[in-house]
């Protein structure tokens, strides 16, 4: 799968208009349904993997499970099938980013926000639990946050219903090491809803602390810690949290499933009790210290702008965070810096202004962002200086301070 797929029509109906993300197993595209003109996300299994019976069964199982799940916190499926050995699933298009993106870019979260996300995840898992479905791969990368701050759980590729024969050997490692429960690491067949809730707790821990509860140099190191090390105190990393948060984590991350919250509703009830212990608006402890306010910083003496080298068109940089991209009224995308070139992604990069200091951040665009000829790592901010040359797709611009 590559950029040549853009413009292709799947099953005579779904036209691929942009690539949203790609992994080792499948690629997700934004598509337009030529029948009703609606926008969807379409997940296509990599063609070279279609001959792998186990992976194909996993892909098909995801479609079957999602067809039977209906919840506002689970990505909906509308269609699935096979077009010339190209296996696809048509799903909701979610306008937003995955939870990992916010964790990387914003660091430890406000407790109310973090608990709200965890609660929404648990609510989605409650619907799965009532249908006898275990997700088995809850991690920030599989949690989408839409533009209204609503959670959508995706990627049920490792999910298994109670009446589904498992497709993996007993001791094959499933899931992601940072978020996997002890019993799932030992034997994937043992995973149930309490295993999913353990994973939600690890995600909540990372949202609050800025790091997962267990870390190591290899996946094996991390798994061994899940199995053997005591649950770390989150208050050591976030002393502004109430002591009851530690109590919650000790139960939610207990080694034995029997000692954890038994159902998603039990987990949600415990989160609601924690919310009652938090102030209406939580802040890091140092911000609550009273004292004289420092004088306001003087306005920057120079303002940033970018000049499109090919045309000489000048675009002033107004605002704290500006999206560089390509306008698409159909999708409702109107970037502050509109570069009308098909090689530019709809949301290609951010340009930020922090009190006169400008930075650029690539948003994992298909045609990467370059700074002075160097390809940028996605979601990593780089400082800009006067005269720097930026390349978004095929469009080169010069950053200037004037």
Q: How many domains does the structure of the chain reveal?
A: 3
Q: Is the pTM of this model over 0.85?
A: no
Please provide residue 236's backbone torsions phi and psi, each rounded to the nearest 5 degrees.
-65, -30
* pLDDT one-digit tens code per residue, 285-332: 443 434 454 444 444 457 899 999 988 899 999 888 899 999 887 777
239: left (phi over 0), alpha (psi -120 to 50) or beta: alpha
Two tokens at 62?
């995801």
85 and 121 assigned to the same domain: no
Q: pLDDT below 70 — which residues of the chain? A: 1-4, 23-24, 157-175, 188-189, 280-301
253 and 346 assigned to the same domain: no
Domain that holds residue 330: 304-401
- Single residue among 32, 67, 92 that ends a domain in this structure: 92
* 3-class secondary-structure state, position 33: strand
For 41, 89, 119, 242, 273, the CA distances from 266, given in Å and listed in that order, are 33, 33, 11, 20, 11
| CATH classification at residue 67 | 3.30.200.20
* pLDDT one-digit tens code per residue, 210-238: 999 999 888 889 999 999 999 999 999 99
- Single residue among 47, 66, 92 that ends a domain in this structure: 92
Please check whether residue 253 is in contact with residue 201, taking contact to mean a CB–CB distance below 8 angstroms: yes
Please check whether residue 338 is in contact with residue 351, taking contact to mean a CB–CB distance below 8 angstroms: no
- Single residue among 62, 92, 122 that ends a domain in this structure: 92
What's the rounded Cα separation, in Å, for the pair 398 and 402? Answer: 12
Residues labelled catalytic: 137
| CATH classification at residue 322 | 2.60.200.20
263 and 130 assigned to the same domain: yes
Residue 389 inside a domain? The answer is yes
Q: Which residues contact 286 (CB under 8 A, 6 or more apart)?
A: none
107 and 184 assigned to the same domain: yes
268 and 387 assigned to the same domain: no
71 and 104 assigned to the same domain: no
Residue 288 inside a domain? The answer is no
254 and 352 assigned to the same domain: no
109 and 42 assigned to the same domain: no
Please check whether residue 122 is in contact with residue 143, taking contact to mean a CB–CB distance below 8 angstroms: no
* 3-class secondary-structure state, position 304: strand
């Amino acid at each position: 799968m590559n950029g040549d797929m853009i413009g292709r029509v799947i099953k005579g109906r779904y036209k691929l208009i942009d690539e949203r993300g790609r992994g080792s197993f499948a690629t997700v595209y934004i598509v337009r349904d030529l029948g009703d003109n609606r926008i969807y996300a379409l997940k296509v299994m990599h063609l070279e993997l279609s001959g792998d019976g186990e992976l194909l069964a996993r892909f098909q199982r995801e479609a079957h499970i999602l067809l039977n799940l209906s919840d506002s916190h689970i990505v909906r499926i509308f269609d699935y099938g096979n077009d010339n050995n190209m296996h696809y699933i048509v799903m909701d298009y979610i306008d937003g980013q995955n939870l990992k993106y916010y964790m990387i870019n914003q660091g430890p979260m406000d407790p109310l926000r973090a608990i709200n996300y965890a609660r929404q995840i648990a609510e989605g898992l409650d619907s799965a639990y009532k249908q006898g479905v275990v997700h088995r791969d809850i991690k920030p990368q599989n949690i989408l946050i839409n533009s209204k701050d609503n959670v959508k759980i995706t990627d049920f590729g490792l999910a298994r219903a109670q009446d589904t024969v498992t497709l993996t050997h007993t001791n094959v490692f499933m899931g992601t090491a940072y978020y996997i429960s002890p019993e799932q690491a030992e034997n994937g067949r043992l995973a149930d809803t309490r295993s999913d809730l353990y994973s939600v707790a690890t995600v909540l821990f990372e949202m609050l602390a800025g790091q997962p509860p267990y870390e190591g140099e290899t996946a094996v190191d991390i798994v061994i810690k899940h199995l053997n090390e005591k649950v770390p105190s989150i208050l050591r990393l976030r002393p502004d949290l109430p002591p009851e948060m530690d109590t919650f984590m000790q139960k939610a991350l207990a080694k034995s499933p029997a000692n954890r919250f038994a159902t998603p509703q039990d987990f949600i009830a415990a989160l609601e009790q924690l919310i009652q212990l938090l102030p209406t608006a939580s802040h890091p402890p140092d911000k609550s210290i009273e004292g004289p306010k420092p004088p306001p910083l003087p306005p920057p003496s120079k303002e940033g702008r970018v000049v499109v080298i090919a045309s000489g068109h000048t675009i002033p940089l107004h605002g704290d965070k500006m999206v560089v991209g390509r306008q698409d009224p159909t999708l409702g995308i109107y970037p502050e810096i509109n570069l009308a070139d098909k090689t530019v992604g709809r949301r290609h990069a951010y340009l930020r202004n922090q009190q006169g200091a400008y930075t650029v951040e690539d948003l994992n665009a298909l045609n990467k962002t370059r700074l002075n000829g160097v390809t940028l790592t996605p979601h990593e901010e780089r400082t800009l200086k006067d005269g720097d040359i930026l390349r978004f797709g095929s469009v080169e611009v010069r950053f200037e301070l004037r």
